[in-house]
Amino acid sequence: MSEYTKPLPRPSETSRPFWEAAKRHQLQLQQCGGCKAYIYYPRDRCPQCLSEKLNWKPVCGKGKVYSYTVVRRAATRSFSDKPYVLAIVELDEGPRMTTNIEAAPESIKIGMPVNVWFDDVTPEKTLVKFKPA
C-alpha cells in the first residue's frame, strides 16, 4: 500500500472530540447549550451567543450538496493523482462542511441528498466524507 501523502488534520484540544468520534465512525457536532445552535467547525465558544456551554451531540449524518467542484488540476502535487469532488455539504442540522463526495463527478448535482461516510485514510486518521444517499 502506498504512503498517504495528503495533508492530515492535526486536532487541537477544542477539536479532538470531533476527530475521535470520526475515528469511531460517528459524526458529532457541538451544540450550544445557550442558543441551541449546532456549530461546525469546533469552537471554544458559540459564535452566535459566545456561550461557553458547548455539548458534543451525535447528528444524523444526512445533508445536501450546497455546491461542489471537480478538481482536475490540483493546487498541490499530493492531490494530483486523480480528479476529485470537493464539496460544501449543508447538514440537516444547519452547519456547512467542506468535504469530498465519493461518486462519479458527472453524477453530482447541487441539492442532491448525501449521507456521511468515514474514510479511514490512515490507521490513525479518519476523514468525514459523503456519498450520494
Partner 1 sequence: MSLRDKAAAIGIAELKPWKEPPPGVTPLKLMFQLTADVLADAGLEKKDLDGLLVGMPFADPGVIYPASLAEVLGINPRMLNIVDIGGASAAGMIWRAAAAIDAGMCNAVLCIVADLNKMGDQKVPVVSVQREFEAPYGNIGANCGYAMIAHRHMYEYGTTPQQMAKIAVDQRKSAMKNPLATFGDKLITIDDVLNSRMIVDPLHLFEIVSPCSGGSAVIVASPEIAKRAKNAPVWLRGAGEYSNHATITYAPSLTDSPIKTAADAAFKMAGVDRKEINLVCPYDCYTITVLVSLEDAGFCKKGQGGPFVMEHDLSYAGDFPCNTHGGQLSFGQPGLGGGMSHVTEGIRQLMGRGEGRQVKNASLAWVNGNGGIMSEQTSLIFERR
Which residues, 6 or more positions from 36, have their beta carbon under 8 angstroms from its beta carbon? none
- Residue 36 or 41: the one with the smaller Cβ distance to partner 1 is 41
By CB under 8 A, tell whether 31 contacts partner 1.
Answer: no
Return the residue of 38, 56, 79, 118 that touches partner 1, per CB under 8 A: 79
Residues 38 to 67: which contact partner 1 by CB under 8 A? 41, 66-67
Nearer to partner 1 by C-beta: 70 or 103? 70
Contact pick of 20, 26, 38, 70 for partner 1 (by CB under 8 A): 70
The residue written with cell numbers 440537516 in the block is 92
Q: 1, 2, 3, 75: which one contacts partner 1 (CB under 8 A)?
A: 75
Query: Could you tell me the smallest distance in angstroms from the CB atom of residue 53 to partner 1?
Result: 21
112 binds partner 1 (CB under 8 A): no
> Radius of gyration over alpha carbons of the chain, in Å?
16
Bridge pairing between strands 62-71 and 54-58: unpaired
Return the SS3 of 132.
strand
Cβ atoms of 133 and 102 closer than 8 Å: no
- Residue 105 as a binder of partner 1 (CB under 8 A): the answer is yes
Burial of 5 (0-12, 13-18, 19+ CB in 10 A): exposed
Helix (H, G, I), strand (E, B) or coil at 35: coil
Chain residues in the site for partner 1 (CB under 8 A): 6-12, 15, 41, 66-77, 79, 84, 86-88, 96-100, 105, 110-111, 127, 129
